[in-house]
Amino acid sequence: MKIAVIGTGYVGLVTGTCLAETGNEVVCVDIDESKVKRMQGGEVPIYEPHLDVIFERNINAGRLSFTTSLKEGLNHGDIIFLALPTPEDEDGSADLKYVLGVAEDIGKLISEYKVIVDKSTVPVGTSDKVRESIAKNAKCEFDVVSNPEFLREGFAVDDFLKPERIVVGASSERAINLMQKLYKPFVRSGNPVIIMDERSAELTKYAANSFLATKITFMNEIANFCEKVGADVDKVRIGMGTDSRIGKRFLFPGIGYGGSCFPKDVKALHKSGKDAQYDFKILESVIQVNHSQKTILVPKIFSHLGKDLRNKKVAIWGLAFKPETDDIREAPSLYIIEELLKAGASVAAFDPEAMDNVKSRLGDSISFAKSMYEALEGANALVICTEWGVFRNPNFNKVKEHMDQKVIFDGRNLYDITEMRSEGFSYYSIGREDVIM
Ligand code: UDX
């Protein structure tokens, strides 16, 4: 099949590349000329495991190409994916200017039947707005489909190629048939392509992400409560998660959810509720609790090191909002660093992938180490913000040799409390007993 993908951000690039992998001919369109040039030269502009291999393979096979011309993309594709940004507006709602702007251009440029598929996360009712924007100028038939993505950063390729489900919101038989044909190779395992109306599809994405954010936030509150009453959240988590109605996944407490999706989507659903005179009380609480959870370790740091950190050095392990990505959007590390700098601390950080991004944001206000152990040199404390695999089993003798004080604040509960005690560390984590040496 012939596909065009408009927008080569994270979602667009993964979508285009994975659709090419199943034999489709894909043209990706972006307005950023230098990015398009880099991609034409075979460079993947984002870090995502396994993407580079299939990217190269499909370019070499002639199934994947890039252009800055919307017209070229539209002439090529029978199915046109919109994977455009929907940034958070000042009031928390999703800003649709990119999606509707391109929709209007599409109306001016198409001259034969196309299916326009919205992959961006958009508020309920957007498909109607997209349809109206295209219809202003279109001189041919077209259909608009809502097809939300459920890709996790770090696992996006796998999630796209082997999805648990595909949600398609569409009301025309012709468009539904084309979408089913397109996705057939991805659901050979028997996982469903769920067909519904456009509005329900749009809401499914927000509801799924908000539910997961709520699940994490609930566990964060249970963890905070565990600390008050002397319970251990790791035991509670396992006790709860083995009930299949609850499930083991997404029950890990920590220093709050971040990333490009959960924070934005929870706020947008909350705002959509307001617009429809519906007060989402639960989402209001999720937003508040997650905000305070990001700096939950800071009072512990102050109680151990004192509130004046002017002569203290703090090491940070992990800057990305989660492992296997260089994405730092809404990353808890940034909130913690801000508080540490305010208190006068000098901060040295290490992250396997995200240091360049943080350097562009924070400049020289913190230093960046070449290795996880170098970051610890002369440190009065270590704060763990991201659970990268390399941090899970460090050489504790080396850790002790480098640090001035043996203190760890672990925002991801990576280590065993008994082991930390026998290694002689003061060790603070989330929802578990503090070890104070
Ligand atoms: C998420 C959804 O999973 C995906 O379906 C959607 O399309 C986009 O948003 P992503 O943002 O890549 O994907 O990250 P995810 O792995 O879901 O983690 C989100 C956040 O929750 C991270 O900050 C992570 O650290 C946090 N988290 C996750 C927890 O704090 N505890 C958990 O148990 C799981």
Residue pLDDT, tens place only, 331-353: 999 999 999 999 999 999 999 99
Q: Give the helix/strand (H/E) hosting 75.
A: helix 70-76
- Does residue 89 register a pLDDT over 90? no
Residue 203 near residue 184 (C-beta atoms within 8 A)? no
CA of 292 to the centre of ligand 1 (A): 18
Residue pLDDT, tens place only, 157-195: 999 999 999 999 999 999 999 999 999 999 988 999 999
CA of 272 to the centre of ligand 1 (A): 22
Query: Atom 7 (ligand 1): residue with closest C-alpha?
Result: 150
- Does residue 92 register a pLDDT over 80? no
Residue pLDDT, tens place only, 11-65: 999 999 999 999 999 999 999 999 999 999 999 998 889 999 999 999 999 999 9
**% of residues, the chain, pLDDT over 90:** 94
ipTM of the complex: 0.91
Scanning 230-331, the segments in alpha helix (DSSP H) are 233-241, 262-275, 281-293, 298-305
Query: Atom 28 (ligand 1): residue with closest C-alpha?
Result: 250
Residue 234 near residue 413 (C-beta atoms within 8 A)? yes
Nearest to 170 by CA among 130, 133, 143, 207: 143
Residue 178 marked as a ligand binder: no
Domains of the chain: 2-196 (3.40.50.720), 205-293 (1.10.1040.10), 298-428 (3.40.50.720)
Residue pLDDT, tens place only, 358-416: 999 999 999 999 999 999 999 999 999 999 999 999 999 999 999 999 999 999 999 99
Structure letter (DSSP) for residue 88: B
Whether 261 is a known active-site residue: answer: yes
Query: Catalytic residue among 18, 28, 226, 261, which?
Result: 261
The string of DSSP letters for 118-178 reads E-S---TTHHHHHHHHHHTT--S-EEEEE----PPTTSHHHHHHS-S-EEEE---HHHHHH
